[in-house]
Chains A and B, each alone.
Chain A
């Protein structure tokens, strides 16, 4: 029998970026908010204390801040007829664990979105015709426009303290020759901070990209280029490029995180409570199944606790949101054979390729210098910035040098053909580590009818509940796009005049491989849209079926972006919070009529 807590106005599941943003917005609206985070309390002190945090083994290698798979993981299979196997060790993706979630250990690349990608299906049909989109590709529009989201992108950048260079502000060009991106959509304001300095590797990329005719720009980075105070009154210090960024807590108070940028303000609110070590098992529904009554969680002592609430926010990581919906019976589960149902539909990822360049001893790239959001990129082949017609694939990719800091256990890289051990390895390692750089094509990934999420029939978590099952593989469109992008990045790489290149791209027949890190940018499964037959949540991230459940996060993306997702996740969360504050509270019910 679960202990019942005092009823709250709002219960939030997960305290990463979306949970923190929702908590701030809804406490501002005067609501009593309880946030449940299944991992431990984490903050700059003590988790980011110098010098203890400058420890590659503990953080990058033993993965201290990431999800503990012994309690819960996902299972993975390539196709509908295969038996899924559990992801036993972290590899391809690294979800967070604890207060701040992945927002505590992320890198900080802080993009908006290319407006075309918010209406991807409509755009492709208009420009290239309906027949251009291959059979089985289930891309669709988000149901919200860039213009609608612009004020929320702007505010999120101000909360995060983002460094960058605008191209246009209110239609006026301001970024020419100073690191702006000519493909970027118009903005209502400048970035709150100017761009960060560029590492030498990024400078090499900038020069080479310009030499082959592309348009390099400074990556928008949620690592500070100078001291900053955000709209919540929280102070940040300047990033010093320590090189311990992705996978670490920032000891310099320079990388935006829910812990640094929002939690200090929330702590001042008497109507907010954060409960770490609280693992939510399910959302409870009333007897009609159309209204949530709260959630049930397991506390640190293993006791089941019921937290009643009028509004439930699912603010966990992408696939945890989807799993909670499936475990709770919110929305109809997706069936890939019939195409019916919505929860689990359109699971998509990131279509990465990486090229490493190795130089002679007189080129010092010093890869240990870095900041997670820092770098130089080109958008010439992102979104639909080039004519896809002759190439016959859907999707685009930004390219960049994003030197986040590369340390020797995980970051030693030698030219292809180098032995893995012995004196030859050692000599090559001494010659290459500070003389190499890495560049990526961070490709968009599309959604397909048979890439989806459901509950595994065999494997269970530590609480006896079924694991989430991923059915996922690369498709022909993905391989061909990847090969096209590699060809373009290679032009930049060769213009740097390296002594050797290593090309890590996809080949025909390659299957999804769980072993090597790709990105933690997983999308979909509880997607937003205009039609309840093809989306789980409406344009305000409100469940079509249970109107007092809202589901922010990349779980709402109908397909993967060319850019990193956090900027759009944050803007959509502020957008949904505004709809709750201004519409839902006055008249609780569906915000969009089905």
Chain B
């Protein structure tokens, strides 16, 4: 990674931080007007949008980190990792692509809190954890290109152009390490993609994912309620729906 990349990352991080400040301030005031500034104005409309949205074109969000080709890949992949189905909306409807793109403009994207001095021993035993010199931005940039190349050789199309069953098969081969990439281990790429997808599905919407609190509704997690004094001892379903940091309710 070049110094320019890092500077660019910092600039875009600052830009994102600045756009977030009013939102945090509103939430901090406790007035709960935060919902007015988020993308989904009302749960009912959001639901209709979710149901209407075809895969790959789910939001008006414009990616900052991903190229158009990468964006298509991420939209297609997360829709298979957590699909919309009979249990409710999936990762695409939750805004996971936006979440991942935004994460890739934070310090996480450059491994800012990881120890990244060499020498690197990439073939270390798994017990020693992450030993690559790649940071998340590299893993996505190299991994998506490698996955699309691999799909091209395997299936004659980019990943996003495959049908759902073939996409599932391809993701399964990545997960199992049966697809071999040169630039980044396929299993590492897959594990970051899956981990970040789940983060985006279940995080507070302040980070760009879990729109409409769909992840929390799926599992009956109450979000930022954070006061269970009267429910501690009760072995009953918790009845109060979730709320977010910005005061959005589902």
Interface residues of A (CB under 8 A from B): 49-52, 54-57, 61-63, 68-70, 72-73, 76, 78, 83, 85-89, 91, 197-200, 203-204, 238, 240-244, 251, 363-366, 368-369, 407-409, 412, 420-423, 425-427, 429-430, 433-434, 458-460, 511-515
Question: B207 interface residue, CB < 8 Å from A?
Answer: yes
B40 interface residue per 8 A CB criterion: no
Minimum distance in angstroms from B164 CB to a CB of chain A: 10
Query: Is B173 part of the binding interface, using a Cβ–Cβ cutoff of 8 Å?
Result: no
Q: Mark B residues whose CB is within 8 Å of A.
A: 24, 27-28, 80-83, 85, 87, 90, 108, 111-117, 119, 121, 124-131, 168, 171, 175, 194, 197-199, 202-204, 206-207, 215-216, 218-224, 226-229, 231-238, 245
Interchain CA distance A460-B119 in the complex, whole Å: 11
Determine if B202 and A63 form an interchain contact, defined as CB atoms under 8 angstroms apart. no
Nearest Cβ distance between residue B212 and chain A, in whole angstroms? Answer: 15
Contacts A70-B116, A511-B127 given: A366-B231 contact, CB under 8 Å? Answer: yes
Residues of chain B with a CB closer than 8 A to A56's CB = 202-204
Q: Are A89 and B130 in contact (CB under 8 A)?
A: yes
Asked whether A420 lies within 8 Å of B226 as measured between CB atoms, the reply is no
* Bound CA–CA A56/B112 (angstroms): 19
Cβ contacts under 8 Å, B220 to chain A: 433-434
The contact of B127 among A49, A434, A514, by CB within 8 Å, is: A514
Bound CA span A91–B90, Å: 29
Cα distance A83–B220 when bound, in Å?
A: 47
| Complex contact B108–A420 (CB within 8 A) | no
Q: A203-B233, A364-B235, A422-B81 are in contact. Are A241 and B127 (CB under 8 A)?
A: no
A368 near B221: Cβ-Cβ < 8 Å: yes
- List the A residue with the shortest CB-CB distance to B236: A364
Q: A76 vs B130: C-alpha distance in the bound complex, in angstroms?
A: 12
B228 touches A243 (CB 8 A): yes
Tell me whether A57 and B219 are in contact (CB under 8 A): no
Residue on B with the closest CB to A374? Answer: B232
Is the beta-carbon distance between A241 and B114 smaller than 8 angstroms?
A: no
Chain B nearest Cβ from A236, distance in angstroms: 15
Shortest distance from the beta carbon of B108 to any chain A beta carbon, whole Å = 6
Residues of B near A460 (CB, < 8 A) are 117
Binding site of B, secondary structure by majority: helix, strand, loop or mixed?
loop
Q: Could you say which residues of chain A place their CB within 8 Å of the CB of B235?
A: 200, 203-204, 363-365
Contacts of A434 in B (CB 8 A): 219-221, 237-238
Closest 5 CB pairs of A and B: A242-B226, A200-B235, A408-B202, A433-B219, A54-B224
Tell which of B81, B128, B171, B202 has the most Cβ of chain A within 10 Å: B128
From B87, B113, B125, give the contact of A68 (CB < 8 A): B113
Question: Which listed residue, B198, B221, B223, B233, touches A200 by the CB 8 Å rule?
Answer: B233
The answer to whether A459 touches B203, judged by C-beta atoms less than 8 angstroms apart, is no
Q: Tell me, in angstroms, the Cα distance from A215 to B135 when the chains sit together.
A: 49
How far apart sit A68 and B204, CA to CA, in the bound complex (Å)? 23
Q: A422 near B128 (CB under 8 angstroms)? A: no
Would you give 26 A-B contacts (Cβ < 8 Å), ordered by A? A54-B223, A54-B224, A56-B204, A68-B113, A70-B114, A72-B115, A85-B124, A88-B114, A88-B116, A88-B131, A197-B232, A240-B226, A243-B228, A364-B238, A365-B235, A366-B228, A369-B228, A369-B231, A369-B232, A409-B198, A420-B194, A422-B81, A429-B218, A429-B219, A434-B219, A434-B221
Q: Which residues of B contact A83 (CB under 8 A)?
A: 121
Contact A409 B203 (CB under 8 A): yes
Q: Known contacts being A88-B130, A514-B127, is A242 close to B227, with CB within 8 Å?
A: yes
Determine the chain A residues whose CB is within 8 A of the CB of B202 once the complex forms: 56, 407-409, 412
Cα-based distance from A238 to B114 in the complex (angstroms): 37
- Give the number of A-B contacts (CB < 8 Å): 181
CA distance A251 to B111 in the complex (A): 29
**How far apart sit A199 and B121, CA to CA, in the bound complex (Å)?**
45
Q: A85-B128, A89-B115 are in contact. List 19 more A-B contacts (CB 8 A).
A: A51-B224, A51-B226, A52-B245, A54-B223, A55-B204, A56-B202, A56-B204, A198-B233, A242-B226, A368-B238, A408-B215, A420-B175, A426-B90, A426-B218, A427-B87, A433-B219, A433-B221, A513-B126, A514-B129
Given A52, A70, A244, A429, which contacts B27 in the complex, CB threshold below 8 Å?
A52
Name the residue among A62, A366, A407, A434 with the largest chain B CB count within 10 angstroms.
A366
Chain A residues near B87 (CB-CB < 8 A): 423, 426-427, 430
Return chain B residues, CB-CB under 8 Å to A63.
Answer: 113
Q: Name the residue of chain A whose CB is nearest to the CB of B191.
A: A420
List of A residues within 8 angstroms of B129 by Cβ: 87-89, 91, 514-515
In the assembly, what is the distance between CA of A237 and CA of B87, in Å?
40
Cβ–Cβ contact A421 & B219, under 8 A: no
Q: How far is the CA of A317 from the CA of B180 in the complex (A)?
A: 42
Residues of A within 8 A of B112 (CB): 70
Residues of chain A with a CB closer than 8 A to B168's CB? 422
A422-B228 in contact (CB<8A): no
* Alpha-carbon gap, A49 to B202, bound state (A): 21
Which B residue's beta carbon lies closest to that of A241? B228
- A408 and B216 contact, Cβ closer than 8 Å, known pairs A56-B202, A68-B113: yes
Query: Complex Cα distance A204/B234, Å?
Result: 11
Chain B nearest CB, measured from A222 CB (Å): 17
Given the contacts A423-B87, A460-B117, A514 and B128 also touching, CB distance less than 8 Å: yes
Least Cβ distance of B34 to chain A in Å? Answer: 10
Docked CA distance A287–B128 (Å): 41
B residues less than 8 Å from A204 (CB atoms) = 235
Contact present for B226 and A243 (CB under 8 Å): yes
Q: How far is the CA of A514 from the CA of B129 in the complex (A)?
A: 6
Instruction: Decide if B194 touches A421 in the complex (CB within 8 Å).
Output: yes
